[in-house]
Chain A
Amino acid sequence: MQIEGTITSVFETWPVQLAVEAAGGRWHVSLSSDTTVTLRGQPAAASALRSGHRVRVTGSAAGPDALAADRIEVLA
């Protein structure tokens, strides 16, 4: 599944967890060491993710409004 929204919080576990505000509501997104991150099309580290980033998250449902991210694309 895929969501698109804005990162509102970066919870600082390692790997990080994200709160993403999407059109359908707030999602909790968990990353893993296998999650790939791209920043405007370029590969990036998860530590590049910032509050305020507009992102597209692709992954699998991990609970109500929760997503385990396989891929995160920073759009802007």
Chain B
Amino acid sequence: MDFRRGGGRKQLAEEESELSPKTSRRSTPPEAAHKEADHLDAGAAGQAEAGDIQYEAPRGRPAVPQEVEGIDAELVRLHTQRHPPTTITQDTSENKKEQTMDVQERWEEIQSAIEMENTKPPIEDGHEPVSGNSGAETATEVDMVTAAETGTASEAAPADEVMYETDNGAAIQEVSGYVETPPPDNPVIEIVHGADDRVYVGNTTAYPFRTICHLEITAPNGKRYIGSGAFIGPRVVLTAGHCVYLHGDGGWARSVRVIPGRRGNIMPYGEATGTRYWSVKGWVNNRDSDYDYAVIVLPTALGSRVGWMGLANLSFFSLLGLNVNNSGYPGDKTYGTQWWNSNNILAVTGRRLYYRIDTMGGQSGSPVWRYKDGQRHIVGIHTTGASVFNGATRVNDDVFKNLVSWKNL
């Protein structure tokens, strides 16, 4: 492995200063940063070539919670206090004193997982779309569906769509989100739960929390699950593949009840039930967690009421060390309540993101997003936890293309 220190410093420094104006800027000579970035861009394009995983610890970088609207500022302060910056480094000779056994073990497990992923060949047609609906016992392979075929694009509130090539720091591909509906005048309730790092979202009618949905999933065999999702278009909710195609329960979900911005028994925007889904062969046919993503297509344009976040396919070094947000509906809390958390991405591969964000069952499918320049873009779909690191399906080139083609279904 080649652990290059200093990679992506320029971009990290820019984000740091943007997120926390009071924080002293990291002084990185622009030229040096540029050279590093040029070098590292090749790694980004190659995305997780075996033996070429790189990591730079954001040492000294404060764990700045990015997403504060809808959450009481005091809770954010407490969260930051309880959730200090992650200090991980590979330079053990210089920084041995900084390391704890916990962090070292965490790092070793991350390395092990990444090595495992890098030796695994990609599934050739893993991102090929597969659709299904309630009652479908097996996956049906069909061609890509366009808005014209569905005839529902006219319902869609158009989002500005931007796709562009870039070098450092910016998105490789990006679509913007949509915010229009003013939030209803609901009371804001904020509480802190013990020493839990997750923060209760008291105002789920604030953007972007209102775009995040509680999912009540009914499997083909009648079994019930809870999951999370987020609108990416007027009728389309992004989630994990295992929230709509349940390998242990007979396949495509019988139905998924989607409740955006739910807060306990309060459903400020109502609900909709989805029975039509899109995922990809890599999940449906191969059960590979690298391809664990899907969308739910709703019969109504509920997304036009709550809006949605954009999508971004960020480069390897834009993602590495990036402070991201996650908010979803864990099953261990009061039913139907939304919980937010934030931390840095610890490791990036071609198809996965790894971070140290506390999550629990029920948060599968919740968005992992970046907040920058006032814009919010989803960069991952949370899927797995209960480990020393939690993980998301990365919005890479293939995922991005599929999501863009699905978002206006």
B-contacting residues of A (Cβ < 8 Å)?
9-17, 19, 26, 28-30, 32, 46-47, 49-52, 62-63, 65-68
How distant is the Cα of A30 from the Cα of B249 in the complex, in angstroms?
7
How distant is the Cα of A14 from the Cα of B227 in the complex, in angstroms?
7
> B387 to nearest A CB, angstroms?
4
15 contacts between A and B (CB under 8 A): A9-B384, A10-B384, A11-B383, A13-B226, A13-B242, A14-B225, A14-B227, A30-B247, A30-B249, A32-B223, A51-B386, A65-B247, A65-B287, A66-B249, A68-B249
> B368 to nearest A CB, angstroms?
13
Main secondary structure of the interface of B (DSSP, over half): loop
> B365 to nearest A CB, angstroms?
8
- From known contacts A26-B287, A32-B223, A50-B387, infer whether A12 and B362 are also in contact, taking CB-CB under 8 Å: yes
Main secondary structure of the interface of A (DSSP, over half): strand
Which residues of chain A are near B359, meaning CB under 8 Å?
Answer: 12
| Cβ contacts B284-296/A at 8 Å (1 or 0 each) | 0001010010000
Is the beta-carbon distance between B250 and A15 smaller than 8 angstroms?
no
Is the beta-carbon distance between B217 and A12 smaller than 8 angstroms?
no
A-contacting residues of B (Cβ < 8 Å)?
109, 217, 221, 223, 225-227, 240, 242-243, 246-251, 287, 289, 292, 330-332, 359-364, 382-387
Which residues of chain B are near A68, meaning CB under 8 Å?
Answer: 248-249
How distant is the Cα of A12 from the Cα of B243 in the complex, in angstroms?
9
Is the beta-carbon distance between B331 and A15 smaller than 8 angstroms?
yes
Which residues of chain B are near A28, meaning CB under 8 Å?
Answer: 247-248, 287
Is the beta-carbon distance between A14 and B386 smaller than 8 angstroms?
no
Task: Choose among A13, A30, A52 the residue that contacts B387 (Cβ–Cβ < 8 A).
Answer: A52
Is the beta-carbon distance between A11 and B384 smaller than 8 angstroms?
yes
- From known contacts A19-B289, A63-B247, infer whether A10 and B385 are also in contact, taking CB-CB under 8 Å: yes
